[in-house]
């Protein structure tokens, strides 16, 4: 496979990106936003479902809520991990308070919770607030050479 399928985290448009261009800041063909922003993107229910079920590039989703102290404490660490893992893995956040149906479908029982998805399936999960180094090590450990 010489191209990868990526859903734009801003507009939801499906894009095909040549593998050789993943590290060249590819942009959405529809809205022009970066497809691999190097920072966590906020997901709504529709974007969550598209990106976790259809994308070829791994994505790590942080299920969180604004009232959760550990979630807020982990946010800067999650952002550092996003920079470290780009362009091979994208990171995103889903507010469980705004989208309880999604967190219920994902089986989230406590937050913060991280779930790594790749090509339509859940690869692994990690519970609790973590420093960036732990998040990066978790992803690399689960994906091996791909991360």
Please name which of 85, 79, 62 lies closest in space to residue 139, comparing C-alpha atoms: 85
Based on the residue annotation, tell me whether 68 is a catalytic residue of this protein. Answer: yes
Burial 3-26 (b: 16+ CB within 10 A, else e): ebebbbbbebeebebeeeebeeeb
Based on the residue annotation, tell me whether 71 is a catalytic residue of this protein. Answer: yes
Q: First-to-last CA distance in the chain?
A: 17
Q: How many CB atoms lie within 10 A of CB 128?
A: 12
Catalytic residue numbers? 68, 71
């Amino acid at each position: 496979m010489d191209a990868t399928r990526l859903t734009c985290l801003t507009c939801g448009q499906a894009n095909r990106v040549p593998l050789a261009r993943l590290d060249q800041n590819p942009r959405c063909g529809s809205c022009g936003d970066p497809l691999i922003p190097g920072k966590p993107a906020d997901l709504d229910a529709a974007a969550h479902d598209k990106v976790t079920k259809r994308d070829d590039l791994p994505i790590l989703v942080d299920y969180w809520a604004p009232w959760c102290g550990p979630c807020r404490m982990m946010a800067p660490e999650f952002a550092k991990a996003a920079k470290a893992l780009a362009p091979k893995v994208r990171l995103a956040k889903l507010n469980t308070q705004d989208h309880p149906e999604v967190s219920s479908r994902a089986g989230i029982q406590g937050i913060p919770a991280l779930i790594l998805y790749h090509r339509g399936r859940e690869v692994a999960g990690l519970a609790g607030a973590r420093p960036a180094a732990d998040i990066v090590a978790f992803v690399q450990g689960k994906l091996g050479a791909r991360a």
